[in-house]
């Protein structure tokens, strides 16, 4: 369970993610301060050189030594800056990897509905681009901003010790520069939100365009689909262009005015020297030190965009890390019994209730079937039983214990789930099947493939079991993907098997093979099947007819036919289709 940060500050939150790497960031800040100190120190040396010239010091060794000192100081600046940057980056990339890992792990503990509510493009944007954006804050802002803020403060304090009037003169351009900066910030939140929205839309459109390229080509929608992509790309680019156009003038003035310390230091200092209240040597020192403030100030201002976008960037990552999780204990075991019960289960997608008081029993070792019209709620029930969501009210129990009281991993070991969306990873056929049981041998993988009726077609692939299946299994047909998914579920050897229209895309011959293997391998196990072909579930111990999120009827195949209700109508329609096939 993630520990939520109580502070609303983005900086506080991101620093809270550094974990065991805090020491590296402290070291990085120290090295950065030393590096900036080395970059400012030459100004003090130059001030000494100028005073030497004013005092008519003609000792060449005096000037050569100070030039050597300046060179050494600059080398020190380069060295410590490199050490600081490398230290912060090593820590940062380790932290980013940990944050990304925590986000992906968090997704597995969130209800499936909460994950599916986000588009794949938006999630990809958060997990990749947004997390990468944290690199600037951790690797650069933390050490460099801290160091570049500290050094000007030290220089100003030193100038104040020389002459407080010149200290104030050194700060004279700050109010005007800050006014320009604040003017630049007006409306920036709206501009930034536009870029966030436009970028998300572009990501979503790009993912959709690539994923649907086959449909686009087949149905001749290339132009309309491409036009949508172009329009979203145009909006994304111009959201940044319009933002930059609105802020470039005040930002330029802020960048010019804020570091222009000489505008006030030279005339005011000149008047003070003329009046005799400031020595020439002190005036020269102050002039040179004031110049030394310019570079750190410009560096500080260069992070303005990063500060402006920080809240939104970190907010999207926090939305994942701090999202509500499914209610599951961290430790414990699952009951030995494998009987399932649903009692008065209600469930909603977003704000719309789709299941209205479902109650059903699945005794251990029984074959339970769920049938009904499309959209009636069958798959939702299967996913609730598989613990992909939590019920809104009511309960689902395993062996008499509410599944919310069973650790997720322990419960998952009890379930083998094959959905109608047969997702395969871009790995080999063998590796996809072995996901069912990580310690399975090659022989066990191949045996599961034989029993699910996919060994022969696998052997006909270019590399056999070592053939890459492509993204989402795209190199295989729908029926082939289904059989591999079933083989994966069989290999798991779980006591409860859920088949959510798992044979939807198989031809009759292969369906018969799969049904025989399923019957054999699920012997003595609890089997829950959602079927669109009623002929495959005629032998079920109990059939539940789901309609509009409620149980419309229940019984065996013969009992339901005898009721002369919706099931009989569905059966007759199924048989007519089968006779004409």
- Cβ 479 vs Cβ 505: under 8 Å: yes
Mean pLDDT of 335-346: 91
Report the percent of the chain where pLDDT is more than 70: 88
- Cβ 526 vs Cβ 365: under 8 Å: yes
Least Cα distance to 85 among 23, 149, 144, 145 occurs for 144
Residue 424, pLDDT above cutoff 90: no
pLDDT in tens, 273-320: 989 898 888 888 888 888 777 777 777 777 766 666 666 677 778 888
- Cβ 378 vs Cβ 394: under 8 Å: no
Q: What is the pLDDT of residue 2?
A: 40
User: Rounded to the nearest 5 degrees, what angle is found at the Cα of 120, between the Cα atoms of 118 and 125?
Assistant: 95
Residue 359, pLDDT above cutoff 80: yes
85-89, 156-160, 259-263, 268-272: least confidently modelled range:
259-263
Report the percent of the chain where pLDDT is more than 90: 15
Mean pLDDT of 90-112: 85
Enclosing H/E stretch for 284: helix 280-301
Highest mean pLDDT among 134-148, 174-188, 429-443: 429-443
- CATH 3.40.50.300 domain range(s) in the chain: 340-580
Q: What is the pLDDT of residue 4?
A: 42
> Other C-beta atoms within 10 Å of 71: how many?
11
Give 381 or 532, the one with higher predicted confidence. 381
DSSP designation for 126: I
Torsion of CA 375, 471, 317, 328, to 10 degrees: 60
Residue written as tokens 């039983």? Answer: 385
- CATH 1.20.1560.10 domain range(s) in the chain: 12-167+300-321
- Report the C-alpha gap between 581 and 573 in whole angstroms: 12
- Report the C-alpha gap between 558 and 571 in whole angstroms: 11
Going by CATH, does the domain composed of 12-167+300-321 fall within 3.20.20.70? Answer: no
Q: Going by C-beta distance under 8 Å and a sequence separation of 6 or more, which residues neighbour residue 247?
A: 184, 188, 191
Mean pLDDT of 367-373: 90
Strand order in the sheet with 352-362: 352-362, 340-349, 393-398, 401-402
The residues with which 543 forms a beta bridge, in sequence order, are 369, 555
pLDDT in tens, 129-140: 778 877 777 787
pLDDT in tens, 21-36: 888 888 988 998 888 8
- The DSSP secondary structure of 10-32, one letter per residue, reads HHHHHHHT-GGGHHHHHHHHHHH
pLDDT in tens, 442-496: 999 998 888 877 888 889 888 899 988 887 777 887 778 878 888 888 888 888 9
- Report the C-alpha gap between 396 and 402 in whole angstroms: 6
Model confidence band, residue 115 (pLDDT cutoffs 50, 70, 90) = confident
Using alpha carbons, list the distances in angstroms from residue 382 to 143, 178, 239. 52, 60, 44
Give 129 or 180, the one with higher predicted confidence. 180
Sign of CA pseudo-dihedral 211, 212, 214, 220: negative
- Report the C-alpha gap between 294 and 30 in whole angstroms: 21
Burial of 532 from C-beta contacts in 10 A (0-12 / 13-18 / 19+): middle
Least Cα distance to 498 among 357, 388, 580, 579 occurs for 388
- Residue 261's φ and ψ, nearest 5 degrees, are -65, -30
- Cβ 452 vs Cβ 486: under 8 Å: yes
Mean pLDDT of 394-413: 90
CATH number, domain 340-580 = 3.40.50.300
The residues with which 385 forms a beta bridge, in sequence order, are none
Mean pLDDT of 329-334: 85
Highest mean pLDDT among 58-72, 228-242, 419-433: 58-72
- Residue 543's φ and ψ, nearest 5 degrees, are -115, 130
Model confidence band, residue 218 (pLDDT cutoffs 50, 70, 90) = low
């Amino acid at each position: 369970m993630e520990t939520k940060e109580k502070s609303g500050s983005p900086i506080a939150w991101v620093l809270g993610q550094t974990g065991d790497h805090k020491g590296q960031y402290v070291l990085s800040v120290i090295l950065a301060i030393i590096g900036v100190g080395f970059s400012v120190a030459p100004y003090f040396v130059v001030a000494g050189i100028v005073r030497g010239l004013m005092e008519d010091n003609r000792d060449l060794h005096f000037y050569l030594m100070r030039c050597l000192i300046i060179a050494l100081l600059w080398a020190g600046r380069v060295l410590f800056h490199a050490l600081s940057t490398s230290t912060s980056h090593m820590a940062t990339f380790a932290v980013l990897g940990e944050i990304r890992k925590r986000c992906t792990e968090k997704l597995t503990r969130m209800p499936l509905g909460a994950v599916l509510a986000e588009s794949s493009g938006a999630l990809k944007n958060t997990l990749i681009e947004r997390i990468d954006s944290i690199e600037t804050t951790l690797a650069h802002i933390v050490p460099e901003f801290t160091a570049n803020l500290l050094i000007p403060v030290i220089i100003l304090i030193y100038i104040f010790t020389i002459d407080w009037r010149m200290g104030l003169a050194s700060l004279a351009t700050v109010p005007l520069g800050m006014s320009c900066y604040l003017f630049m910030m007006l409306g920036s939140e709206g501009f930034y939100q536009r870029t966030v929205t436009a970028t998300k839309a572009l990501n979503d459109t790009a993912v959709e365009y690539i994923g649907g390229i086959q449909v686009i080509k087949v149905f001749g929608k290339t132009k309309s689909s491409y036009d949508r992509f172009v329009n979203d790309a145009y909006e994304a680019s111009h959201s940044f262009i319009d933002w930059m156009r609105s802020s470039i003038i005040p930002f330029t003035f802020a960048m010019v005015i804020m570091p222009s310390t000489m505008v006030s230091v030279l005339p005011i200092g000149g008047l003070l020297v003329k009046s005799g209240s400031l020595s020439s040597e002190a005036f020269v020192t102050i002039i040179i030190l004031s110049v030394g403030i310019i570079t750190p100030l410009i560096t500080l201002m260069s992070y303005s965009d990063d500060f402006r976008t920080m809240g939104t960037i970190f907010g999207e990552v926090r939305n994942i890390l701090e999202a509500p999780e499914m209610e599951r204990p961290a430790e414990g075991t699952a009951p030995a019994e494998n009987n399932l019960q649903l009692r008065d289960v209600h469930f909603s997608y977003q704000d719309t209730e789709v299941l209205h008081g479902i109650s059903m029993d699945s005794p251990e070792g029984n074959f339970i079937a769920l049938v009904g019209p499309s959209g009636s709620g069958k798959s939702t029930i299967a996913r609730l039983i598989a613990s992909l969501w939590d019920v809104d009210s009511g309960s689902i129990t395993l062996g008499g214990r509410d599944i919310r009281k069973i650790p997720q991993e322990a419960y998952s070991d009890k379930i083998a789930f094959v959905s109608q969306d047969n997702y395969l990873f871009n790995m080999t056929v063998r590796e996809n099947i072995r996901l069912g049981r990580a310690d399975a041998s090659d022989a066990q993988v191949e045996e599961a493939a034989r029993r699910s009726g996919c060994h022969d077609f696998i052997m006909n692939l270019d590399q056999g079991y070592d053939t890459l299946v492509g993204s989402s299994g795209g190199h295989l047909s729908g029926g082939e993907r289904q059989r591999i998914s079933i083989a994966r579920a069989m290999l798991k050897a779980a006591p409860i098997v859920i088949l959510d229209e798992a044979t939807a895309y198989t031809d009759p011959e292969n369906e018969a093979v799969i049904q025989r293997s399923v019957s054999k391998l699920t012997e003595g196990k609890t089997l829950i099947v959602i079927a669109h072909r009623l002929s495959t579930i005629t032998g079920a111990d109990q059939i539940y007819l789901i309609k509009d999120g409620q149980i419309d009827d229940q019984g065996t195949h013969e009992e339901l036919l005898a009721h002369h209700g919706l099931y009989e109508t569905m059966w007759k329609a199924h048989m007519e289709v089968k006779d004409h096939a």
